[in-house]
Structure 1
Amino acid sequence: MTKSAKPSTLLDLLEIGAPNHPAIQVPDGPTITYDALRHQVYALADNVMALGIRRTDRVAIVLPNSAETIISFLGVAAVAIAAPLNPAYKSEEFRFYLEDTSALALMTGSQGGEIAQNAASDTTLPIGVDVDAQGHVTISTPGNGDGARLEETASPNHVALILHTSGTTSRPKRVPLTHGNLAASVANIVETYNLTADDVSLCIMPLFHVHGLVASTLATLASGGTVVVPTRFNALNLWRTVQDYGVTWFTGVPTMHQALLSRARGTQFPGPEATPYSGLRFIRSCSAALPAATMLEMEERFGVPVLEAYGMTEASHQMSSNPLPPGNRLPSSVGKGTGVSIAIMDESGALQPPGIRGEVVIQGPNVIRGYEDNPEANSTSFTDGWFRTGDEGVVDSEGYLTLSGRLKEIINRSGEKISPQEIDEVLLSHPAVAEAVAFGVMSTTHGEEPSAAVVLRRPVTQAELIRYCRNHLADFKCPRVIHIVSEIPRTATGKIQRRIVAEATAEKISGAPP
């Protein structure tokens, strides 16, 4: 592949960076150059093949955020199908995903991974992964590790990665992402943010999810830049890492950004040169709705553009984004399509003009052709070549997309459709509210009534919050009950599942003493 050509497989990403340029840096750990990364990926792929694993076989990977996770993923995807799993899963969860994925092998680290190993079947091949102080990764295999076995290179149509949907409304569905899907997505991300070899990304999202894997990591490799990989997100030392490694951008979920804002409030810096933010080009937010107030405060506090994007597993992550300056950034909008066609469709399957609300549908080379072994889901998720996202939104005359929530989360009160996200925004604008999530609850009178749960940053009563909502929302949109809670449950990737919040508050009420 020439330097100017866009990658068509994940292996192409290894050919872009200068041989001696850092590809991966681990805080207080090793630095791995592109030359070393390429050698290690091919050696690991060789060893995986020596175990008898072939192109259509699945290898589950249960590792924390680390250089060895990236190397293991790329090595497996070179010759087979990688299936990264959340290391925090419990035994039953591991058992489900290992069985549902039909994992032939299970890759775990030298420390940890016992729960996954114990949950695996007797026929699942265990592969131990180890790394030395220099960042050299080895696996327990009889292979010779010289890369000589790679006679068949991956093609764009080969499946590289299999993930599951979050299963917020049904059984998780298997999502097969090809090399071509992933290569198209990373190329779109590189172009959207003008990424170059001079850029350094900080990967604070988990690598078992497309947000961290595709946006933070693979897109960085596709630009020839450097990805810094801490073990986990830590708001206490993030800015020190930004300074120490010259980080130019990072991407996260709103809860992370809110944690950084909480730490930054009240902090005074003597000047731009002394701030920990001076090297940043931009901050990206994705995977959950970013409140407009949070975006504006971040830009004021950190002094860089904050770009909200829109992504999902079925699209190999990114579908749209607000642009870099001088492009217009719209608070509460997820921007314009990035190498992806975005439209609005009504219930009958007809595409709608700008300004009309409906279901967001997408087309593009990064979008899956279908779920694996799920004809029922495929029949409802695809219409005339468009993938139906299940999100409700509206596109304006300039192509900017604004989301109003999941279609199945829209609150229907006596025929009036209420966006829970609109209620979220109002509650979050109250100075006493740190976090908020709205949802529908069953009502014998109206079918559904809006309700909400909030986490407070200082005392306020439910009655005061309801009055505040009535000053900012039409009466039918106002929550009838607002639950004050200590924590709002989220998925491992920071997403709010409104159904789970509704169930949790209902259980709390039903379990309370009379």
Structure 2
Amino acid sequence: MILHRDQPPEGTLRDWVDARAAEGGDAFVFSDGSGPLDWQALQREARAIAGALTAQGLSKGESVAILHPNGRAGVLAFYGVVYGGFRATMVNLAAGQDAIAYALDHCDARIALVHDSVAEVFKAARPSRLKRMKDFSATSALHSIDPQDHALLMYTSGTTGQPKGVVHTNASLLAGGWTTAVAHDLGPADRALCVLPICHINGLCVTMMGPLVSGGSVAMCTKFSASRFWAQADAMQANWFSVVPTIISHLLHSTENPSKATMARLRFGRSASSALAPDVQTAFEARFGVPIIETMGLTETAAQILSNPLPPAVRKIGSPGIAFGNEVAVLGADLKPGPPNTEGEIAVRGPNVMLEYLKNPEATKATFTQGWLRTGDLGRKDADGYLFVTGRLKELIIKGGENIAPREIDEALYAHADVIEAAAFARPCKTYGERVEAAVRVCDGSTLSNDMLIALCVEKLGRFKAPDKIHFLPELPKGPSGKIQRLKLLDLTEAA
């Protein structure tokens, strides 16, 4: 099957796996030394898993829970489930027992594919109806499937309330890979370095679906390691990577450097999941000589909705870019797209948008407005079509009736070279309603103090927006992708 730049992929994931198998070539290489997995072997093993699942009497579109870390077995579990026409339910292993138990119960799965390393986690969290499948000897003819059949169920991080189960079809999941492939001009010669967990939409759609539809391959690591990142990129011959801002900051503060061969091979690095501070991006590019492409995506949109173009086209530092493969608008108070440079809620529509929230019609209805999926992010679009994210509705700090975007404060803090992680947040206050505080992680040996960082923010933002207090933490709380979970900081710093 051929990737068309001007239209989303047709068919199902099964169709695309079959097409890649017919072409041949490597699909995955792994950092754990398990050996390469070519498309023909992937097809053969995925088909076997699919046949065994079908023999269990599962209906088309039924959930199959997958509890696997990054690796060969996890890749085959995912492809085996979707190849059979079932709904791959990717369980976030870092979410904690309560969240795992909720997902396993809510998804209605009867069968789970579980890696030995997380067997005890599964045992502690599983509902009584859910069985771990170990015997794959029985087989059955596969269900017929079509593009609109369910393919993926992934739970949002649930920073407030219970997580929501995002349902993607074969069509929307493939379209998610297509938006990445089109934006980054991916082709058969490209190999993605995957260090993000495949139970997260970035790891799954960007670094797995992108190569599937473009004909490329994946270099998969078990997890991110700042000390091994460049060596892994070199050993597995990757020429692009997708990470999150915290990883870029950790690499910047690491003593490790890529080899000249690695630097020459890398076409670009990709940043997503949260805003990338301009000072961090500029410093990274100056040190390593690798262009960073800032992007934006959501679980609900099978990852990417916006991306900066590749060099030599214009990249606007501080913006996640322009729309590729979908439409992105800024909605005004009337919930209609507004004129350029007007702040409002960012919304998206296109082939990569989710089908629904599983068993939650109220949330599904509230998320869609006149065909647009509302993201909950605030922003503005300039005259060239570049989006600038100004905040998140749930994270805005409202001090004395004035809206303050935490991102402004984050970027001021990241301007200091000793700051590795930073996040501003609101604390209730009798005088102003809310006051500004922030949490940071600094590099070892730093002599930074509360007063020094507050003074930096006052210089850049003024006294009103500057934090009243800075909390120095050994680590900021993060979700499965490495995105800082800002809303957890209030409770985490309560006694400080």
Which bin holds the TM-score, normalised by the shorter protein?
over 0.9
Query: Counterpart of 2:68?
Result: 63
Q: Does the 8 Å CA contact 1:19/1:33 hold for their aligned counterparts? A: no
Q: Provide the TM-score with structure 1 as the length reference.
A: 0.91
Q: Residues of 2 paired with 1:231 and 1:485: CA distance?
A: 26
- Give the letter aligned to residue 489 of structure 2: V
For residues 55 and 394 of structure 2, what CA distance do their matches in structure 1 show?
A: 47
Give the structure 2 partner of residue 295 of structure 1: 281
Q: Write out the 4+ residue segments of structure 1 that deviate beyond 6 Å after TM superposition.
A: none
Question: What do residues 330-366 of structure 1 show as CA deviations (whole Å, max 9, x unaligned)?
Answer: 1111000111111111233132111011110111111
Between the aligned partners of 1:398 and 1:341, the Cα distance in structure 2 is: 14
Q: Quote the residue 1:237 is aligned against.
A: 228
Q: Does 1:199 align with 2:190?
A: yes
What aligned pairs does 1:266-285 form with structure 2 within 5 A after superposition? 274-285=260-271
Partner residue of 1:463 out of 417, 437, 451: 451
Gap change, CA 1:360 and 1:244, over 3 Å in 2: same
Aligned to 2:491: 503
> What's 1:447 paired with?
433
Deviations 1:440-467 (A, max 9, x none): 1111111111111112221122112212
In structure 1, distance between residues paired with 2:339 and 2:2: 41
Do 2:61 and 2:151's aligned partners in 1 also have CA atoms closer than 8 Å? no
Deviates more, 1:254-263 or 1:171-180: 254-263
Asked if structure 2 preserves the Cα contact closer than 8 Å seen for 1:17 and 1:221, the reply is no
Secondary structure of 1:417's aligned partner: strand
Q: Provide the rounded CA distance (Å) in 2 between the counterparts of 1:127 and 1:210.
A: 25
**1:172 matched residue in structure 2:** 163
The correspondence of residues 412-423 of structure 1 with structure 2, limited to 5 A, is: 412-423=398-409
1:485 corresponds to 2:473 = yes
Q: How many residues align?
A: 488
> Is 1:121 aligned to 2:107, yes or no?
no
- Alpha-carbon distance between aligned partners in 1 of 2:398 and 2:431, rounded to the nearest angstrom: 12
**Over aligned residues, Cα RMSD in angstroms?**
1.9
Q: Does 1:149 align with 2:141?
A: yes
Q: Which of 114, 122, 130 is residue 108 of structure 1 equivalent to?
A: 114
Flag the 1:3–1:286 CA change in 2: closer, same or farther, 3 A: closer
Q: CA deviation at 1:378?
A: 2.5
Deviations, residues 4-35 of structure 1 (Å, cap 9, x unaligned): 69343212331136643111111322111111
User: Aligned to 1:162, which of 134, 149, 153?
Assistant: 153
Q: Which residue of 2 aligns with 1:135?
A: none
- Residues 177, 368 of structure 1: 8 Å contact kept: yes
Deviation at 1:294, TM superposition (A): 1.3
**Cα gap change, 1:377/1:304 in structure 2, threshold over 3 Å: closer, same or farther?**
same
> Cα distance, 1:469 vs. partner?
1.3
Between stretches 296-305 and 306-315, larger displacement belongs to: 296-305
Q: Give the letter for the 1:44 counterpart.
A: I
The offset of 1:2, in angstroms, is: 5.6
| Aligned positions of 1:22-41 closer than 5 A | 22-27=26-31, 28-41=33-46
* 2:237 paired with 1:246: yes
Q: Which amino acid aligns with 2:455?
A: R
Q: Secondary structure at the match of 2:235?
A: helix
Check conservation: 1:342, 1:360, Cα contact below 8 A.
yes
Write the distance in 1 (CA, Å) between the matches of 2:242 and 2:55.
Answer: 37
Secondary structure of 1:43 counterpart: helix
Over 3 Å counting, the alpha-carbon distance change for 1:496 and 1:402 in structure 2 is same
Match of residue 359 from structure 1: 345
Runs of 5+ unmatched residues, structure 1 = 129-139, 510-514
C-alpha displacement of 1:196: 0.9
SS at match of 1:162: strand
What is the percent sequence identity of the aligned residues?
Answer: 34
- Alpha-carbon distance in 2 for matches of 1:167, 1:111: 25
Alpha-carbon deviations, 1:406-457, whole Å to 9, x = none?
A: 1111111122111100011011102332221101111111111111111222
Whichever residue aligns with residue 61 of structure 1, its letter is I
Q: Point out where structure 2 has 5 or more consecutive residues left out of the alignment.
A: none
Contact 1:322–1:330 (8 Å) recurs in 2: yes
**Which residue in 1 is equivalent to 2:370?**
384
**Structure 1 contact 162–174 (Cα < 8 Å) conserved:** yes
